[in-house]
Structure 1
Amino acid sequence: MDTTAKNIPVTFYENLGKLFYAMAAADKVVRKTEVDALKKLVTKEWVPIKQDTDEFGSDTAFQIESVFDWLDNEGTKAQEAFQDFKDYYVTHQEFFSTAIKTKIRQTCDAIAASFSGKNKSELAMLANLHLLFQQ
């Protein structure tokens, strides 16, 4: 089932924030280049597919950045954030069309590559995401 932007809930974007944080924090350090890559990708790739706004008038896709920043400030472990995303994915697969999964993979790949290429921890996180999306 393909999903249109109009019926994707805010919780979807919040959980993407968790996943993208997990990718950036996979090596236990969230670098400025990873944060900058995320913000650029949210604006370029995620905002255009979402036309709804939250109660403050902001595009709900910016929840990705809000959750990412909050997890970073809290010092959340990457595996914990990934598990939260995984739990959401398993129970809400109807929001994850092939096109959305491709966009998610591309965003994770760009975050991982933004600082000196991909390291072992980031490659493992990408592999876990690939396996999750194969289920």
Structure 2
Amino acid sequence: MEKIHKTELYFYQKLGELFYAISASDQLVKEEEYKALVQIVEKEWKSESDYDNEFNTNAANQISIVFNWFDYERMDSEECYKNFVNFYLEHKTLFTEKKKSLILKTAQTITDALGGTNKSELIMITKLRLLFEKE
């Protein structure tokens, strides 16, 4: 049972890494993108998670925590995206159609925060959509 909880927590951390990768694909994460992420985590992701971490907070909070940390560390967006893909391929059963749809919606919400998706963000979202469709 403990392993399942750790894997689910890791799932949310990897989502934070993915959303950071998409936002940072144009080499700049803007405050509006982070605010949009926090809003959708509060509004939609928290209701998807029925797991609290060891601090009794909703595991979905890991999405925005990791996103913020990766932005602070200025992580490489391509490397972050590859890390997410590897996690996805190893743990496909965690990715229900409903969660895939919410992941794509979240990515689009983040990139639309400044009035539209730019080319580098669009490319990464398209790669993600193709990954989900292929698997």
Tell whether the structures are fold-level matches, with TM greater than 0.5: yes
The aligned amino acid for 2:20 is Y
**Take 1:123 and 1:49, find their aligned partners in 2: how far apart are those partners?**
26
User: SS in structure 2 opposite 1:56?
Assistant: coil
Q: Give a deviation string over 1:16-74, Cα, whole Å, max 9, x none.
A: 00111011111110000000000000000100111221111111110101111111011
The aligned amino acid for 1:42 is V
Contact 1:8–1:95 (CA under 8 A) maintained in structure 2: no
Unaligned stretches of 5+ in structure 2? none
The TM-score with structure 2 as length reference comes to: 0.92
Q: What residue in structure 2 maps to residue 29 of structure 1?
A: 28
Measured after TM superposition, the shift of residue 8 of structure 1 is 6.5
CA RMSD across the alignment? 1.4
Measured after TM superposition, the shift of residue 116 of structure 1 is 2.7
Q: What residue in structure 1 maps to residue 106 of structure 2?
A: 107
Higher helix share: 2
Counterparts of 1:52-131 in structure 2, within 5 Å, are: 52-131=51-130
The TM-score with structure 1 as length reference comes to: 0.92
Contact 1:101–1:133 (CA under 8 A) maintained in structure 2: yes
Number of matched pairs: 130
**Take 1:57 and 1:134, find their aligned partners in 2: how far apart are those partners?**
35
Identity between Structure 1 and Structure 2 (%)? 37
Measured after TM superposition, the shift of residue 127 of structure 1 is 0.8
Q: Give a deviation string over 1:79-120, Cα, whole Å, max 9, x none.
A: 111111100000000011111100100000111111131110
**Take 2:115 and 2:48, find their aligned partners in 1: how far apart are those partners?**
29
The ranges of structure 1 where at least 4 consecutive aligned residues each deviate by more than 2 angstroms after the TM superposition are none
**Take 1:72 and 1:8, find their aligned partners in 2: how far apart are those partners?**
23
